[in-house]
Amino acid sequence: MPVSMTALADDLTAESAELRGLLAGLDESGWRRDTPAEGWTIADQVSHLAYFDDVAVQSAVDPDAFRAELERIRAAGGVNPDAVAARYRDLPGAELLRWFDRSREHLVETFRGLEPGLRVPWFGPAMSAASSLTARIMETWAHGQDVADALGVARVPSVRLRHVAHIGVGARAFSYAVHGRAMPDVPVRVELDAPDGSRWTWGPQDAADRITGPALDFALLITQRRHSDDLALTATGPAALEWAEIGQAFAGTAGKGREPGQFGGAARPTSASEESG
């Protein structure tokens, strides 16, 4: 089935609305609440998304300007998400939310009209417009998880997790590269139980190495929002076990991940329409 940019844009809009539901009721102290990402507040999570939404639009509509900026960034030592967060740390929460709304709307409308196969540059390898939009869904879900964790709520899993898992599976080679390791020439089968009761699969059916379990848990693993010890996943075979240790769906340097048992307390379930301040 051909990739639909309209369907991807609609899913990003839905994921954005879920995150916005968590943000809308926050007062200024809520915006400054620490998240599990070391040194980052809820405000930092949102400025990160807004900033890279703007950059993603530039990569699609003015790739030459993006490449020129990328060369400048590389010459200065590479992209530094912590420095980006610090740059916007003094913005009030209401202003951050307006920025996020504007940037996200511009991103969605820009990418909705692109050909899925259009190649766009990025901080890692160039990717298709469809993959770039899928990556924005993954980023929104992952940073939304940090916000939810900071607020002590658990989001209801949706079938949009497929996008997160898909990006994660596709980033297997990248995960090895950022850790300075050679990826073994061994396929890994991924079988995930989806929130709607279906099963999502990637990789050869007869692969000896495999990762199985809930789609939510794989998404948490591959975005490094939970330690593998705290997830109901089964990794079979040395290649699967190593990937589960270093897997990373997002661009940039190797992530620090989370500590075992860091989220020992059960969060209360919440739907996309609920808010917490």
Q: Are residues 63 and 137 in the same domain?
A: yes
Residue 270, domain member (yes or no): no
pLDDT of 266 higher than 80: no
Tell me whether residue 258 is in a domain: no
Q: Which of 108, 136, 155 is the last residue of a domain?
A: 155
Q: What is the CATH number of the domain that holds 44?
A: 1.20.120.450
- If asked whether residues 40 and 149 sit together in one domain, one would say yes
Sign of the C-alpha dihedral computed for residues 173, 179, 182 and 186 taken in this order: negative
Q: What share of the chain is helix, strand, coil (3-state, %, to 5)?
A: 50, 10, 35
Q: Do residue 14 and residue 93 come from a single domain? A: yes
> Could you tell me what percent of the chain has a pLDDT over 70?
95
Residue 188, phi then psi, degrees to nearest 5: -125, 125
| 57 and 144 inside one domain | yes
Mean pLDDT of 98-114: 98
Average confidence score pLDDT of the chain: 93
Q: For residue 217, is it within any domain?
A: yes
What is the C-alpha separation between 93 and 97, in angstroms, rounded? Answer: 6
Query: How many structural domains are present in the chain?
Result: 2
Among candidates 235, 232, 236, 229, which has minimal Cα distance to 260?
229
- Same domain for 149 and 186, yes or no, is no
C-beta pairs of 26-35 under 8 Å, 24+ apart in sequence = 26/93, 26/277, 27/93, 27/277, 28/92, 28/93, 30/93, 30/151, 30/277, 31/92, 31/93, 31/96, 33/150, 33/151, 34/150, 35/146, 35/147, 35/149, 35/150
The boundaries of the domain holding residue 212 are 162-246
Residues 66 and 106 in one domain: yes
Q: Is the pLDDT of residue 13 over 80?
A: yes
Residues 99 and 139 in one domain: yes
Q: Which residue has the higher pLDDT, 19 or 76?
A: 19
User: pTM for this one?
Assistant: 0.92
CATH code at 237? 3.30.1050
The pLDDT score that the predictor gives to residue 273 is: 32
Closest residue by Cα to residue 36 from 259, 266, 268, 272:
259
166 and 151 housed in the same domain: no
Does the residue 133 lie in any domain? yes
* Length, in residues, of the chain: 277
Phi/psi-derived region of residue 95, left when phi > 0, alpha when psi is between -120 and 50, beta in every other case: alpha
Whether residue 242 sits in one domain with residue 221: yes
114 plus 215 within the same structural domain: no
Residue with tokens 């969605």: 108
Taking residue 244's Cβ as centre, other Cβ atoms within 10 Å add up to: 18
Are 131 and 216 within one domain?
no
| 267 found inside a domain | no
